[in-house]
Structure 1
Amino acid sequence: MKIAVTGGTGFVGHALTKELIQNGHEVFILTRNIDGKENKKSITYVQWLNEGDRPWEILEDVDVFINLAGESINSGRWSVKRKKSILESRISATNEVEKILSRLKKKPEVLIQASAVGYYGISDSETFTEESNLAGDDFLARTVQQWEATAWKVKDLGIRTVYCRFGIILDNIDGALPRITLPYKAFAGGTVGSGHQWVSWIHLKDVIGGILFVIANQHVKGPVNFTAPNPVKMKEFGQTLGKVLHRPHWIPAPRIALKIALGEMSILVLEGQKVLPQKLLAHGYSFLYKDLKNALEDIY
């Protein structure tokens, strides 16, 4: 198949592109600047988001469109300016995707749109599935809700649309896990905050496997939770990580200290939500890593 990917050089996009090529697909990576990027046998770089760009002329025959574009929420303190940039990067990219799709004479079979479990807001007591009607009201929740609402317009084009609500994606190269692991490697790991906040995690390999599964299964549409079937509390997460790394779990990171250090961004580690992948399981996806210990042992 011919598959277009925005954010193809990012954390998930890089791993996904590698897997798609290994499976024999032709990948079109949309990027702001193609200078220095050389097309290969299975990869074509397509310039977009600049005045005068006409990516739809190259993407006419794509079968699948995957939108992973958006500024990372992890790379800096959330100032007013930065929060605006996080939101606008997602909205502008998704609007441009809708524009491209509307101009294609032959529409792709599916749009796979990145999203996040932040949609549901934070809770220590609720359990969320794709059928949950509750939506959060913090910055992350509002950002994700607007992100999905922007992509909703694609349905009017007759394209199957899937919102991948990603949990905490585990990998040893990028994402949150390397940062969480640092104190343990220094023999200073411990419970973060109260330890009662939920961590809805997923191994990077299951993110890639889940996306391929969604591409292949035409009955999957709408929001899909990309989380492992067994979320854990933060205290258990840290204890399990310590055991896998053969490091102690003993020095806590107090809530007040993290709030002072990270500001509003501290919500990423101090708060959470229990999210279950009801739709993936119901459609028959078989997780490679259902339990945290097995996932961490594979990674480390």
Structure 2
Amino acid sequence: MTVLITGATGLIGQEIVKKCHAEGINVHYLTTSKSKLDTEPNYKGFYWDPDNNEIDHHCFEGVTKIINMVGATISKRWTDSYKKIILESRTKTAQLLQDTIKKHSYKIDQVVSASAIGIYPTSLINYYEEDNTEISETFLGKVVHEWEAAVDDFRPLGANVAKIRIGLVLAEDGGALPEIVKPMKFGAGAAFGSGKQWQSWIHVEDLAALFVFAIQNNFEGVYNGVAPNPVNNNELTKSAASVLNKPLILPNIPKFAMKLVLGEMHILLFESQRVSSQKVEGEGFGFKYANLRPALQDLLG
């Protein structure tokens, strides 16, 4: 099997490539950086420039499945101009892939795309499964809704489409975790707001394994990419401090303070989504890190 991966050089993409190679799956990948082009027997890079509608269509040769991970980071101040980049980096790239497949009559059997649990409205009491139809009215809710709609447009081309709604990704060298623990290392760690907001998290290794499992088992539809045991922000903060053997002596950081520092992006710290993993488990996927503490010990130990 040969799979085309967009976003293969990013935090999660790199883990997916490793997992593909461990499973004997060949990887083609798209990159906007010519310096990142590589050609090996099981790993071949192709250049694209979505801003200018450019793509090397040979990336699709021999490919039957696509893992779509492309998208500008949301962990950057949300100016009006950057909001546009966040949205278009997800929707315009899907359109470019679809137009290229159509133009050159490539046959793609399945597309597995990243999505996000930010589509679910914030709630301290709801337990979100994939059949929930409510959509968050936040900027993130709008982005995910339009992103998923753009990905669904692979269906008329004959592909099965699966969307994996990703939670808080825990990784050693990127994402939110290094930022969460940075102040703790100086004895300045604290939870945010009430600390009661739910954090549906997943270890990056499990997330990569889930994407590969999805292509191996021909997933179709919406799936939550979260570990089975979400925690609230207080628990996350206390567990990280405990693993680092650091005290937590400061009061919780109020919402208004983070709004001053981060602007609209502060909602990333205060939104609450308790999300179910039962559907992927029902498909036979097993988590290596089902509980928070072992995940943190692996990443921070």
Q: 2:169, 2:201 within 8 Å by CA — same for their partners in 1?
A: yes
What secondary structure is seen at the aligned counterpart in 1 of 2:60?
Answer: coil
- Does the 8 Å contact 1:244/1:296 carry over to 2? yes
139-148 vs 118-127, greater mean Cα deviation: 118-127
What pairs up with 1:212-227 in 2 under 5 angstroms?
A: 212-218=212-218, 220-227=219-226
Q: SS of 2:49's equivalent?
A: coil
Q: Which residue of 1 aligns with 2:123?
A: 123
Partner deviation per Cα, 1:184-210 (whole Å, 9 max, x = no partner): 111111211110111000000110111
Q: In the alignment, does 2:229 pair up with 1:234?
A: no
Q: 2: CA distance between counterparts of 1:36 and 1:70?
A: 17
| CA 1:131–1:36: 2 relative to 1, 3 Å | closer
Q: CA deviation at 1:24?
A: 2.3
Number of the residue aligned with 1:28: 28
Contact 2:37/2:47 (8 A) holds in 1: no
Between the aligned partners of 2:55 and 2:132, the Cα distance in structure 1 is: 39
How far apart are the structure 2 equivalents of 1:266 and 1:224? 26
Query: Post-superposition shift, 1:59?
Result: 1.3
Q: Mark the CA change 1:211 to 1:52 in structure 2 (over 3 Å): closer, same or farther.
A: closer
Matching of residues 1-300 of structure 1 within 5 Å: 1-35=1-35, 37-49=37-49, 51=52, 53-74=54-75, 76-218=76-218, 220-251=219-250, 252-300=252-300
* Partner SS, residue 44 of structure 1: strand
**Structure 2 CA distance for partners of 1:104 and 1:89, relative to 1, 3 Å:** same
Q: Give the Cα–Cα distance (whole angstroms) in 2 for the partners of residues 85 and 30 of structure 1.
A: 18
Percent of aligned positions with the same letter in both sequences? 34
Structure 2 length as normaliser, TM-score?
0.94
SS of the counterpart of 2:164? strand
* Matched residue SS, 1:48: strand
User: Residue type of the partner of 1:243?
Assistant: S
TM-score in terms of structure 1 length? 0.94
For the residues of structure 2 that align with 1:135 and 1:52, how far apart are their CA atoms? 30
d(CA) in 1 for partners of 2:154, 2:163: 12
Q: Which runs of 5+ in 1 are unaligned?
A: none
**Retained in 1: the 8 A contact 2:108–2:158?**
no
Structure 1 residues 100 and 279: CA distance shift in structure 2, 3 A: farther
User: Considering only aligned residues, what root-mean-square deviation do their CA atoms show, in Å?
Assistant: 1.6
CA distance in 1, matches of 2:36, 2:131: 45
**1:211-238: per-residue Cα shift (whole Å, max 9, x none)?**
11111112x2111100011111100111
Whether the 8 Å contact between 2:120 and 2:136 is mirrored in structure 1 is: yes
Query: Once the two structures are superposed, what CA deviation does each residue of 1:26-77 show, in whole Å capped at 9, x if it has no partner?
Result: 2111112324633223211111236574533341320211111110001x21
Aligned length: 298
Q: Would you say the 8 A contact 2:122–2:136 is kept in 1?
A: yes
Displacement of 1:89: 1.2
Give the C-alpha shift of residue 297 in structure 1.
0.9
Partners in 2 of 1:118 and 1:86 — Cα distance?
14
Deviation at 1:95, TM superposition (A): 0.9
Q: Distance in 2 between matches of 1:266 and 1:166?
A: 19
Give deviations 1:148-203, integer Å, cap 9, x for gaps. 00111111122111111000000110001110011111111121111011100000
1:66 is paired with a residue whose SS is strand
Q: How many angstroms apart in 2 are the aligned matches of 1:242 and 1:106? A: 51
Change (3 A) 1:104 1:294: farther
Give the superposition deviation at 1:263.
1.0
Query: Shift of residue 19 of structure 1?
Result: 2.1
What's the secondary structure of 2:154's corresponding residue? Answer: helix
Distance in 1 (CA, whole Å) between partners of 2:286 and 2:134 is: 27
Paired with 1:56 and 1:100, the residues of 2 have a C-alpha distance of 7
Residue 280 of structure 1 aligns with an amino acid whose one-letter code is: V
